[in-house]
Amino acid sequence: MKFFVDTGDIAEIRDLAGTGLLDGVTTNPSLIAKSGRDFLPLIAEICDVVSGPVSAEVAATDYETMIREGRKLSEIADNVAVKVPLTPAGLRVCKELSDSGTMVNVTLCFSAAQALLAAKAGATFISPFVGRLDDVGTDGMDLIEDIMTIYENYDFPTEVLVASVRHPMHIVQAAKIGAHVATCPPNVIRQLYNHPLTDKGLATFVEDWKKTGQTIL
């Protein structure tokens, strides 16, 4: 499973890139607003730090403006994935950009039917929002299972990018289903490392090693 970080915070991205476990970055207009940074130079900076896909979302909702925005974003770097909303105009933009060799991430997916359309439109990634579905009393992971089944039935190359991840179990459940990517807030990636028995066990090993009076180096 690939790990993307879902943030516009360049310091967090640099820090997580240092783990060697980061495969890409996703942003959205809300995260850009939170960052307080200018969008285009920020995406360029992220693309310098991370060699994997960096999702940059269009701001318009009409086809004509979205396609121009998408082309401009795709020119920032080879690893930009243009993010478009799952609307008729967004999927039209998806098809056109995909046909011209640009990676496209179709966002705001909340149904299997929508995911089927995105795959047919040539999306590189489909982003189902599991946390927001959980928030309204629907199991977001059921959607991931349905999309994986449909994509496997037809050998669609579109990768399922699990978004709106809220906690480590979302990642574990998505991995058990076989989803290709999880995009996670920085704190959720860090939570993956944690287990109290690891901390307890390590403290004991450190203490016991001291008793040996030895050094390795």
Residues in region 102-141 near ligand G3P by CB under 6 A: 129, 131-132
Which C-beta is closer to ligand G3P: that of 19 or that of 187?
A: 187
Count residues near ligand G3P (CB under 6 A): 9
Say whether residue 3 binds ligand G3P (CB under 6 A). Answer: no
Say whether residue 163 binds ligand G3P (CB under 6 A). Answer: yes
Of the listed 72, 83, 120, 211, which one is catalytic?
83
Shortest reach from residue 211's CB to ligand G3P, in Å: 47
The pair of structure tokens assigned to 181 is 């990517």
Contact 109, 86 (CB under 8 A): yes
DSSP 87: S
**Rounded to 5°, angle at Cα 8 from 7 and 13:** 70
What angle do the packed helices 112-120 and 140-154 form, to 10 degrees?
Answer: 40
One-letter amino acid for residue 189 of the chain: I
**Rounded to 5°, angle at Cα 91 from 103 and 95:** 50
Residue 36's alpha-carbon distances to 30, 39, 46, 67, 184, in angstroms, are 10, 9, 15, 25, 20
Which residue in 74, 164, 174, 188 binds ligand G3P (CB under 6 A)? 164
Q: Is 83 a catalytic residue?
A: yes
Say whether residue 28 binds ligand G3P (CB under 6 A). Answer: yes
Say whether residue 173 binds ligand G3P (CB under 6 A). Answer: no
> What is the contact mask toward ligand G3P in residues 65 to 104, using x (rule: CB under 6 A)?
----------------------------------------
Binding stretches for ligand G3P (CB under 6 A): 6, 26, 28, 129, 131-132, 163-164, 183
